[in-house]
Amino acid sequence: MSRQPHARAGLPLLALLMTANLGCAAARGRSALSPAGPAARTLAQLGWPVLIFFCATAAVMAALLAWLLLRRSGTFETHAPLDTPGGLGMVVAGGFVVPGIAFTAIFVATLGVLSAFPMDPARPPQPSIRVIGRQWWWQVEYLVGDLPQHFHTANELHVPVGQPVDIELVTADVIHSFWVPRLHGKVDLVPGLRNHIRIQADVPGVYAGECAEFCGLQHAKMRFVVVAETPAAYVEWLARQRQPAAVAATPAAQRGAQVFRDGACPMCHTVAGTEALATVGPDLTHVGSRLTLAAGSLANEVANLHAWIVNAPSLKPGTRMPALNQFTGPQLHDLVAYLEALR
């Protein structure tokens, strides 16, 4: 794993520009107005006109405010009353008729968009994935095939390109909201209810998702990714995920496996094929193959994995992952080597 270089203290302007560019790139990657699937495309067809309308409205209001500020001031006696010719008519037209027509048109268009997402109570969808929202990470259960073929992962969904995927959405605690802006709109995860969403990616890629409902302290760091790949690559990924954890091959990974077993890790995590079967935290069977750590808030890199194990609450305050600062330096390196090998 490569480590990212830090910005030099003597180059604050360059660091600021780099941060701005990364922020713009992230915004483009999460833009609902840049759809990559049929559901998001349908929503964007409504979103663009609404955005243009409200921008035009804001421009008109700004022009009127500027006119009020710059016009010649007078006295109450010199102001024209509303009952002068055209006075009351302009107020009614500008304040009621024009906005009423505009909002009615938007409302009718919205109803047309909603009709594109029919829900038939008599024929509920058969989900191939179940997503469980937790404070503050996403548990992902793949329901494809028979029960022995089901498996768990976390904070990362893989889907085949060009195929609709039905997802069941439930929550283990509070209300969350599942949102992949480039693939679909927001759907809430409500306690006691099972909601559904159908997503489809038309182009291979990694699509950013996040929780869109405030759910507590680390709501902003409750993220995930949807990896869209070719159907053949998706089938290969499913086959790898159904396998038990890889056997530690290097001496460091072997020592790390022992550190994992002897420490507190099995009390919270599962590693298929081992005695670690807890479900408090994310399944770690193939954690080394994932793109991110800590529900999408950290890249899955060696340095970040070290830091997360030693003191997760310092990186994500409120997380249920405790600080594990009892490990010695060699033990920590071996443990990370073991987790990196779980692919």
CATH superfamily placement of domain 251-341 = Cupredoxins -  blue copper proteins (2.60.40.420)
Kindly state the average pLDDT of the residues 278-290: 92
| Contact predicate 130/168, CB 8 Å | yes
Residue-wise pLDDT tens digits, 120-155: 555 556 789 999 999 999 999 999 888 889 999 999
Q: Where are the domains of the chain?
A: 129-241, 251-341
Evaluate whether 129-241 and 251-341 have a shared fold.
yes
Q: Tell me which DSSP letter residue 71 carries.
A: S
| Contact predicate 212/177, CB 8 Å | yes
Dihedral over alpha carbons 302, 182, 229, 279 (to 10 degrees): 50
Element (H, E) at 41: helix 38-70
How is residue 8 written in tokens? 């030099």
Q: 214: which residues sit within 8 A by CB, 6+ positions away?
A: none
When the pLDDT of each residue in the chain is averaged and rounded to a whole number, the result is 82
Q: Tell me, what's the pLDDT at 15?
A: 28
Considering the entire predicted model, what is its pTM?
Answer: 0.78
How is residue 191 written in tokens? 């306690």
Does residue 251 carry a pLDDT above 50? yes
What is the DSSP code string of 91-145? HHIIIIIHHHHHHHHHHHHHHHHHTTS---TTS----SEEEEEETTEEEEEE--S
CATH number at 129-241: 2.60.40.420
Residue-wise pLDDT tens digits, 177-232: 999 999 998 999 999 999 999 999 999 999 999 999 999 999 999 999 999 999 99
